[in-house]
Amino acid sequence: MQENAQKIWTEYKNWILSFNGDGIATQDEGEKITLNTPYAVGRVDVHDLGIVIVELSVTNLADDENKFYLHFELKDLDHAKELFTEMRETLLDLKDKQKLKILLCCTSGMTTGFFREKLNEAAELLSLDCEFNAVPFHKLYEVGFDYNIILLAPQIAYSYQEACQIFQDRLVLKIPPKFFAGYDTAGVLRFVREERENWSTTAEERAIAKALGEIKSDAKILSVVVMPFANQTRIAYRIYEKGEPVHAETVIKGKLRVAEDLQDILDTVTCRWKKFDAVGIAVPGIPKNGCLELDTNMIDPKLNLLKLLEDKYHVPIVITNNVNSAVLGYYAQQDKYKNILFLSHPRGYTIPGEGIVINGQLVQGAHNIAGEIKYLLYAAMPQDEWKKHCADLDIVNFYISMSIRAGIAVIDPEVVVVRSEMLPDMEKLKQRLIDDYVREEHLPDFVHVCDTKMSEYALLGQMILTLEALEQSA
């Protein structure tokens, strides 16, 4: 490690090691620092790759899942301290989540309430690190995201598929009737343990897409997709060589700072993979003359992000709305539809966004606002609901169906692709549209996709848009 880099790392490490306390045992292991707690483990790893790359991660011991992961070039000590502070906050926030949280759900909650008490007594007697709670079914989608495992009573087993679609990154199980009827706590505990062991891979690992179409190119493209959710941000990136993926990672963090986060990723990729020919970035919000119309806590709207990145990395940068990238990626990996409406409703948001392909061409409009359905919905909803987190399936259904009705009236798509954890049932959506005076023979096909699948489509679509931009500039 170069002398100056070693000096910065030493200062950074000493600063980190000064944070012993709050139940965190910090251990210096040379080029690695471990932050141990009874409920989670944090790691700070340094890599000398010509430049110094630091990786920060937090793993929850209750479910072995990464709750925080990022990497950056260690050159700005203040920025490095800010990222570690965010990591440490994530670690401390997991203090109340050290137990495996299991939610029981039935029609009214009364039966499962009694069963919950028996299960908690059994878990305590056996010194098991888990905690049971119970809710009636109408509360499931409001509180379910706070739990690791969801158990459905036999009376509501019919909702299993819907619950699996909504809670795609959680284990959803149907309690066997023989265990439920006899309040067999030992049977339920054994059943949960066995099913959890079978459910061994993460949702992210299960969702790696294979669809690349038949794109051929000699260019090395870095494709990046920024996807904020409620209380979390995921930034997926993939390196393509000749149209084939050769490396992929996902950054997981709480706060989204678009400019800083993208530079951390590009710095690391540049160091590890050397020169790339272009970068495609799919972002939320509206790209406009190099700037982004996005929440000010995510990026300075006056910052010319395009110029900043092109001046720093000296390669072409292509910035696109992430739903536009996703609809193009979806179009590219299939050959059935040429007219597509892609509706994206991320968890934690009330207003969806739309991407449009007509006759095989992405439609972005004169000002990049084609598909910005918020301009219609704002007039139809109370202002205090614009950014409200909505857990009511009927309300979500209403706003999504209104958005789709507008799309049907304007572009008459062959298929509507819906990305929404809160609306997995396409048959209910169809019926709502029919009830709202859309003739059944005019309905398009419907496809439901999960968050990770949308990310895969957007990575592919952004790579295509970047290749097209390279060809046009050649």
Concatenated DSSP letters for 84-150? HHHHHHHHHHGGGG-SEEEEEEESSSHHHHHHHHHHHHHHHHTT-SEEEEEEEGGGHHHHGGG-SEE
- In this prediction, residue 216 carries a pLDDT of 62
Rounded Cα gap, residues 360 and 362, in angstroms: 7
Rounded Cα gap, residues 440 and 143, in angstroms: 35
Residues 6+ apart with CB under 8 A from 326: 282, 342, 344, 355, 419, 454, 457, 458, 461
- Strands 353-358, 361-363: pairing is antiparallel
The CA dihedral of 10, 13, 18, 24, to the nearest 10 degrees, is -160
State the SS3 of 82-93: HHHHHHHHHHHH
- In this prediction, residue 383 carries a pLDDT of 66
Rounded Cα gap, residues 278 and 298, in angstroms: 24
Percent helix, strand, coil in the chain, to 5, is 40, 30, 30
DSSP for 371-396, written as a single string: T-THHHHGGGS-GGGTT-----HHHH
CB of 323 closer than 8 Å to CB of 292: no
- In this prediction, residue 245 carries a pLDDT of 83
- In this prediction, residue 122 carries a pLDDT of 85
Ranges of the chain with pLDDT below 50: 201-213
CB of 313 closer than 8 Å to CB of 255: no
Q: How far is CA 98 from the centre of its chain?
A: 22
- Residue recorded with tokens 């000064």: 18
Q: Residue type at 260?
A: E
The strand order across the sheet containing 32-36 reads: 25-28, 32-36, 40-48, 52-60, 65-73, 244-253, 232-241, 220-229, 278-283, 317-321
CB of 258 closer than 8 Å to CB of 308: no
Q: Residue type at 87?
A: M
CA distances from 275 to 49, 222, 470 (A): 14, 10, 15
Both tokens assigned to 80: 């490095």
- Residue recorded with tokens 């110029």: 307
- Strands 317-321, 278-283: pairing is parallel
- In this prediction, residue 115 carries a pLDDT of 87
pTM of the model: 0.75
- In this prediction, residue 19 carries a pLDDT of 83
CA distances from 453 to 203, 204, 315, 425 (A): 10, 9, 28, 17
